[in-house]
């Protein structure tokens, strides 16, 4: 996993111990979706998450239609990250243990 800058002027950067955690959604997943997914995965794996303030510039979205659409897309991406992990963990909890061979 790599560091990514988020709109709240924070950088998310997992440490070297987090290398065993599966990577967040890849492919067409947006940055917001990947960041939320990474946070969920790290917390479920038992890692502690802290935010460190960074001196980064952020270009805020406005209150016009374009800004509203941008925020709606971010909310959609957060929902995608949460629902995909909810489904993944539900399937994992349904898996039955492998049967032992008798011999």
Q: Say if residue 2's pLDDT is above 50.
A: no
How many Cα atoms sit within 13 Å of 71 on the Cβ side? Answer: 8
Q: What is the pLDDT of residues 51-78, one digit of tens each?
A: 888 787 777 788 899 999 999 998 999 9
How many Cα atoms sit within 13 Å of 80 on the Cβ side? Answer: 17
> Which residue, among 77, 95, 86, 100, has the nearest Cα to 40 in the 3D structure?
86
* pLDDT of 24: 56
Q: What is the residue extent of each domain of the chain?
A: 4-94
Q: What is the pLDDT of residues 21-51, one digit of tens each?
A: 665 555 566 778 888 888 888 888 898 888 8
């Amino acid at each position: 996993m790599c560091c990514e800058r988020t709109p709240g002027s924070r950088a998310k950067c997992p440490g070297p111990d987090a290398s065993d955690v599966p990577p967040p959604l890849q492919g067409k997943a947006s940055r917001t979706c990947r960041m939320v997914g990474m946070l969920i995965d790290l917390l479920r794996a038992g890692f502690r998450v802290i935010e460190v303030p960074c001196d980064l510039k952020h270009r805020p979205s406005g209150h016009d239609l374009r800004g509203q659409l941008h925020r709606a897309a971010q909310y959609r991406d957060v929902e995608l990250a949460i629902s995909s992990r909810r489904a993944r963990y539900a399937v994992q909890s349904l898996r039955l243990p492998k049967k032992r061979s008798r011999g």
